Amino acid sequence: MVKNTEINLSAIARDLKKAASDAVVIGVGQGADGPVLLENPLTAKSAEALADSLKVLGITGAADQAVRLPGLPETGSGVLVLAGVGKVSDGQRLSGEALRRAAGSAVRQLAGLSSVTLAFPTADVADVAAVAEGAALGAYSFTEHRSSKDGLKDPVSSVAIFTELAGDKELEPALKRASLLGRAVNATRSLVNQPPSHLYPETFADAAKELSKGLPVKVTVWDEKRLEKEGFGGIMGVGKGSARQPRLVKVEYAPAKATSKIALVGKGITFDTGGISIKPALGMGDMKSDMAGAAVVLNTVLALAGLGLPVKATAWLCIAENMPSGAASRPADVLTMFGGKTVEVLNTDAEGRLVMADGIVAASQEYPDAIIDVATLTGAQLIALGNRTAGVMGADSVTGPLKAAADRAGELIWPMPLPEELRPSLDSQVADLANIGERHGGMMTAAVFLREFVGKGKDGQPIPWAHIDIAGPSFNNGAPYGYTPKQGTGCTVRTLVAYVEDLLARA
């Protein structure tokens, strides 16, 4: 089902002609006095002539600008591309994210070419890795449901990074990591982009098995009979209105020398009509992306396995289709969740928290060191933080490191509080709690609901937990930018991988 796009990454340090490509890309920044040609492999004469021509050519150095010029004989390429990196200051290095976005934007806009050489300034291996990541993320397309590829361009398949660090022994693992991250993010994007006619609970479970092939992971699937028998009332309650019955998928990576143990829980609503509390028709098509959280946690665990990191990581994919029918849950129904708590369903469109609650309880029963859940949970997230910034809530011991990991990965996450006054708004007259509460601050209210299902560790204390709401940043309805395409973005995969790496480094 998932036809992934991958890229071949390499590094070169000498004569560009010996590694001829279809295009050579060099950087231009926005300086205080106009465009600035960045460090590059051109001869001094060529570089000076080019720098003097930038304003005449209309080149500003703005982020996402990519201007094609005829190639120079010294580059061995027919095309020279000037790629904007955004604002620059004298004596100040480009950030890793600026390099990542510039590389990703250039590779994205050069679709149709086979091979590209990227010659951005790289002061250390981390800079080279950022360029490689950007290239891997920019080389993406989703065309598998097109009957014809007329007018469509294949993504760049090979990128060489020009850097004096090409011989550094740390570069090979950095390029491997960039390639694996690109594969994981692009697989997440492709799952999100699948139409609901093709991706539904059963086929999502099949896709998890398919993507796991060749990796040291174990995949276990609960079908509707097992879910019913074992009491997963949240997942069954949401999914029973659809002819396509729900699934719970557990993906375990358990290396022998694991030093930490984490659980990742993902919301997998393959299509969300709102159920009986039906959504407006306008924009409902975007609800094919309501399974992004499950796609994120699946591909995060697969990336950790591919990197061979010494951590036990388990992904719980809570998958259902939320449809209105004679069998669907109704407002005022009471569900008995996995673990025994009861929930009054006041709004069937607040369904994500119901499937997630079951997954969080199941994850808690294995006593992980931390639980992180990822979900396109609330429209309130977009109101609070916009389309590109995810909200993270929970224990400081998890949210703080997640924010630091996101900063390192170049993703936007912002910590939000869990005000105690929100909890009484979830009180129910007939059950342990209701599935909706205070409307204002709804992103935080939803997180307060999920916190009710986090279990205790073997020490009797609540398991450290964090909730990431990706309702906005998981799906891009606007124009492509940087390494981010339209529709599925694959956001937070890189943050979660970085979080685990940081966790292991501290241990």
Q: Which of 100, 189, 267, 353 is catalytic?
A: 353
Q: Residue 377: which of 281, 451, 476, 269 has the closest Cα?
A: 269
- Is residue 3 a part of any domain in this protein? no
Helix (H, G, I), strand (E, B) or coil at 314: strand
Of 279, 388, 403, 486, catalytic: 279
Same domain, 346 and 217: yes
Residue 129 belongs to what H/E stretch? helix 125-138
pLDDT digits (tens, 9 = 90+) for 404-415: 999 999 999 999
pLDDT in tens, 33-73: 999 999 999 999 999 999 999 999 999 999 999 999 999 98
H or E stretch including 11? strand 8-12
> Quick one: pLDDT at residue 473?
98
- What does the alpha-carbon distance between residue 413 and residue 390 come to, in Å, rounded to a whole number? 5
Q: Does residue 441 sit in the same domain as residue 362? A: yes
Q: Would residue 194 count as lying in a domain?
A: no
Same domain, yes or no: 207 and 174? no
pLDDT at 3: 73
Q: How many whole angstroms separate alpha carbon 434 and alpha carbon 276?
A: 17
User: Same domain for 155 and 275?
Assistant: no
Q: In the chain, which residues have pLDDT < 70?
A: 1
- Please tell me whether residues 82 and 120 are part of one structural domain: yes
CATH of the domain at 232: 3.40.630.10
Please identify which residue in the block is written with the tokens 């030093």: 259
Contact indicator for 236, 359 with CB cutoff of 8 Å? no
| 176 and 299 part of one domain | no
Quote the domain boundaries for residue 59: 8-182
Active site residue 279: yes
Q: Could you give the CA distance from residue 434 to residue 440 in angstroms, rounded to a whole number? A: 16
Question: What phi and psi values does residue 306 have, to the nearest 5 degrees?
Answer: -65, -35
Give pLDDT, residue 148.
Answer: 87
